[in-house]
Chains A and B, each alone.
Chain A
């Protein structure tokens, strides 16, 4: 454990090397077989497109990222509140659980048109979709962190007649921090997906709109350039939460 704390972050070269190998195979294979670029875009073409169209695509991407972050923040707050509710009351647990599972079983993409009808073409429906995707992993992890406390720790607190509030503040809440961060890590890329799906359905801006527009023109290279931008941003979000995680490693020690 002590080693983990002192281990310095390093570039994960293995996935980079693997990706480079796959991309090289893709590029060379497509060239050798003479597959036309609009059918199978090649990595070099995609990267070129990302570079040349950066000034057009990046503002769209920034908008999408903004929508995702708003939805992410809202989803984290809602997730934490739902977890408190689930843990605080057996009644809520019984009444809310099926609803939550139902909300997660609905295809979010199919819900998107309705949200656009309700909320228009602006930021709101995209952020709301992101929120819907984010709150569940956050709530599930947080609830687990609040409840999966070592029974001996509870016995210890009880031996000092700790009140429910003391048990919550001094044990359950700090115990849940690590679980919360784990949920946030899973949720961060989902927020971006929610925003992009929202843009697919009704938008005239955002990277999802750019991708859909390119698809309509069969501009496959442009389309993939947009998709890669989204993928890179999602990865960056995941890493951002991981950086946030580092100073918290005392709290993460309890996470199984």
Chain B
């Protein structure tokens, strides 16, 4: 086995709200390997977003440590691209300038990046929309722009925090396919947070199930369904078994 690209050791996060400590994360340990597609599922309040914010260096952990490519994460790093639930495109910038925003922020040369940006937009099916403004695009298209933006500095890791949560069910399924296509073409490590169990099973190599109060990992399932995944994969008995297993893990504690 290669070295993990992301290594979490005993991560914990405690917030203090009105002098009461609230444990958002407790003893989370996980290794993610290069080019793996790992999903995190769990109900609201199980600390998923807290976890990815810590991994991305946006939030300090209370205990434990995060290593990305062997180095301890203390602040945001270029090797991670982020995609959020809302596309957060800047409405006064056209598509290409939105994609190039990270290049500007990191003061990287614009010319080579311009080509990368065009290639990425073409890969995401957005060729010809470079000069369009975000509000002229559908929600799904805006989110594709956001994915291109996250990939423009060519980070080995993509962290996606419920990226399709605001899309309608059909667009969402379509975006899943798109993401797998982009992932296979660009060979990224993806950490994907979602509420949707079937989405997580469909996309992932491994699936991390989290439970709340305190947020911790209940189990990690290896989804050994064949790739590339097609719609037919959803009809496989194994697919249904994985879904049931995840539901059991999530609702077990809630029922008891």
Residue of B nearest to A250 (CB): B92
Chain B residues within an 8 Å CB radius of A158: 58, 76
Interface size on B, residues (CB 8 A): 25
Per-residue A-contact encoding for B99-122, CB less than 8 Å = 1, 0 else: 001101110000000000000000
Q: From DSSP, what is the main secondary structure of chain B's interface residues?
A: loop
B82 touches A156 (CB 8 A): yes
Chain A residues within an 8 Å CB radius of B92: 174, 177, 250-251, 253-254
B80 touches A159 (CB 8 A): yes
Residue of B nearest to A253 (CB): B91
Interface residues of A in 153-171 (CB under 8 A from B): 153, 155-162, 166, 170-171
B76 touches A254 (CB 8 A): no
* Bound CA span A200–B78, Å: 63
B105 touches A155 (CB 8 A): no
B80 touches A250 (CB 8 A): no
Known contacts A2-B135, A250-B133, A253-B135; decide if A159 and B82 are in contact (CB<8 Å): yes
Interface residues of B in 59-83 (CB under 8 A from A): 75-76, 78, 80, 82
Residue of B nearest to A154 (CB): B88
Residue of A nearest to B94 (CB): A250
A177 to chain B, nearest CB (A): 8
Task: Count chain B CB atoms within 10 A of each CB in A150, A155, A156, A251 and give the residue with the most.
Answer: A156
Chain B residues within an 8 Å CB radius of A253: 91-92, 134-135
* Bound CA span A158–B56, Å: 10
Chain A residues within an 8 Å CB radius of B84: 152, 155-156
Chain B residues within an 8 Å CB radius of A250: 91-92, 133
A77 to chain B, nearest CB (A): 22
Q: Is B136 an interface residue (CB 8 A)?
A: yes
Known contacts A2-B136, A166-B105; decide if A159 and B76 are in contact (CB<8 Å): yes
Q: Is A1 an interface residue (CB 8 A)?
A: yes
B88 touches A156 (CB 8 A): yes
- Can you offer 20 A-B residue contacts whose CB atoms are under 8 A? A1-B136, A150-B86, A152-B84, A156-B82, A156-B84, A156-B88, A159-B58, A159-B82, A160-B101, A160-B105, A170-B90, A170-B105, A171-B90, A174-B90, A250-B92, A251-B91, A253-B91, A253-B92, A253-B135, A254-B92
Binding site for A on B (CB under 8 A): 53, 56-58, 75-76, 78, 80, 82, 84-86, 88, 90-92, 101-102, 104-106, 133-136
Ranked nearest first, the 5 interchain pairs of A and B with the lowest CB-CB distance are A253-B91, A160-B105, A1-B135, A152-B88, A159-B76
Starting from the known contacts A2-B136, A153-B88, 8 additional A-B residue pairs (CB-CB under 8 Å) come to: A2-B135, A155-B58, A159-B57, A160-B101, A160-B102, A166-B104, A171-B90, A253-B134
